[in-house]
Structures are given as structure tokens and as C-alpha cells.
Amino acid sequence: MTKSKVKLLVGIGFLILLIDILLMKYWVSSIKPDPTMSVGVESHRIEIFGVNILIGIIAFFIKKRLSILFFVNTVVCYWIFSFFWNSYLENNPYSQTQYDFKIENRNLRLDISENPNTYGIYELNPNPTDSLKILEMGMNEKIGDSILLKVWNSGEFYDMYFYNNKLIGLPESPNPIELNKKE
């Protein structure tokens, strides 16, 4: 193999590496992984492995030396994807804030989570065998200085809002409910 062919092969390999980095960064940012998706990362890694092997096999029949780059790229993409996945999780950590409130002598708790953006409203029962009863669960979205709590219940959608330590729109209470942040 001549020196010019080696330079061309290295140049193509470098170009493939740059494209990999850009595609993996975009792909991970569009997936927006959360800490509970540890199983999901393996399925994406298998996709990466499969696509690179498939391209490598096609390149083998077109130009054998070029196929080596894609077989090596299989391992490199695996590492790049893992790096961006872990980096996203480190920069977007899981956090949860809890608020206590009462309605008609019932003790309730609102949990608002980030990454993933979910919420839950639970009834705190004094019975030690079943201490939490789920009343509502759904997704949340930050809108300005309030949080929209998206509810889906029995085929119907409705919205509740968390604003200034108050829960607005709870079906069981038409008035805003004062919440106490749990430390």
C-alpha cells in the first residue's frame, strides 16, 4: 500500500470519526436519557454495532480496505456513545422536590422530579403495610415561573399548575392549595 493510499485511508477515518462525534452528540441529546434508562442504553449500543457492521460488510464488497475503518468504527462508536450518554446524565442529574398538604383530614404529598420531568400525588396512609396510595401521576413542564402538571385520567386530559408553593387545578379542590416544602 502506497503512502498516498495510507494518507487517504487515515483522512477518511478521521472524517468518519468527526461524523460519528456529531451524530452521537445529536442522538443522545434527542434521546434525553434519564437515570432509569440503564437498560435502554444497551439497545442503542446494539443499534450502533449493527449499523457499523452492516456498513462494513457493504464496504467490504465495494472496497475491502475501506471496510476495515467501519469494523474499527464499531468499537469507537460504542465508546463515543457511552461517553455522551454518561456526560448527559452527569450534566442533567435526577432531582426531586416533595411538598406536603392536607385536604379534608387526608395527608397528601406532591413529588416533582427533574430528569425525567414527572410528578406524583400520593395519599399518606397511616397503615404501615401500604403507606402510599397513588392519586395522580404524569409529566411536568416548566413554563416561566410555574410548572404545568399534565394529567391523564380515564381517557381525559386536564392540567394542574404548581406556582408559588400552591397547587392550582386539583380536581378534589377547586381553590388553590397551599403546599409546604418537605426538607
Q: How far apart are CA 80 and CA 21, in angstroms?
A: 7
Distance of alpha carbon 29 from the chain centroid:
9
Nearest C-alpha neighbor of 180 from the set 108, 95, 117, 105: 108
Report whether 101 contacts 177 (CB < 8 A).
yes
Give me the mean pLDDT over the 16-33 stretch: 88
Q: How far is CA 174 from CA 20, 123, 156, 167, 177, in A?
A: 53, 18, 18, 10, 9
Q: Kindly state whether residues 58 and 23 are assigned to the same domain.
A: yes
Say yes or no: 60 and 103 in one domain.
no
Q: Supply the range of the domain harboring residue 62.
A: 3-91
- At 36 the pLDDT is 66
Coil, strand or helix: which one is 107?
strand
Q: Tell me how many domains the chain contains.
A: 2
Q: What is the pLDDT of residues 43-66, one digit of tens each?
A: 788 888 888 899 889 988 988 888
Mark whether 143 and 83 lie in a shared domain.
no
Residue 77 β-bridge partners: none
Last residue within a domain, chosen from 91, 126, 161: 91
Q: Based on the domain organization, do 55 and 121 belong to the same domain?
A: no
**87 and 100 housed in the same domain:** no
150 forms beta bridges with: 139, 159
Are 57 and 115 part of one and the same domain? no
Comparing CA positions, the residue from 124, 125, 113, 123 lying closest to residue 162 is: 113
pLDDT band at 39 (very low <50, low <70, confident <90, very high): low
CATH of the domain at 117: 2.40.128
Mean pLDDT on 7-20: 90
Same domain, 23 and 84: yes
Report the C-alpha gap between 55 and 114 in whole angstroms: 38
Last residue of a domain, one of 91, 126, 158: 91
What would the pLDDT profile of 149-179 be if each residue is shown by its tens digit?
Answer: 988 766 777 789 999 999 998 888 878 999 9
Q: Which range, of 8-17, 33-42, 81-90, averages the lowest pLDDT?
A: 33-42
d(CA 76, CA 108): 49
Specify whether 112 is located in the same domain as 177. yes
Rg, C-alpha atoms of the chain: 25
d(CA 2, CA 120) in angstroms, rounded, equals 65
Higher pLDDT, 71 or 171: 71
Check residue 125 and give its pLDDT.
78
The average pLDDT across 1-29 equals: 89
| Residues 126 and 147 grouped into a single domain | yes
What is the arithmetic mean of pLDDT over 92-121? 87
Q: Are residues 73 and 149 in the same domain?
A: no
Residue finishing a domain among 91, 106, 124: 91
Helix (H) or strand (E) holding 134: strand 132-143
Our measurement of the distance from residue 172's CA atom to the centroid of its chain's CA atoms, rounded to an integer in Å, reads 31
Q: Answer with the residue of higher pLDDT: 125 or 100.
A: 100
Q: How many CB atoms lie within 10 A of CB 69?
A: 22
pLDDT digits (tens, 9 = 90+) for 107-158: 899 999 887 888 998 888 766 666 678 788 888 999 999 999 988 766 777 7
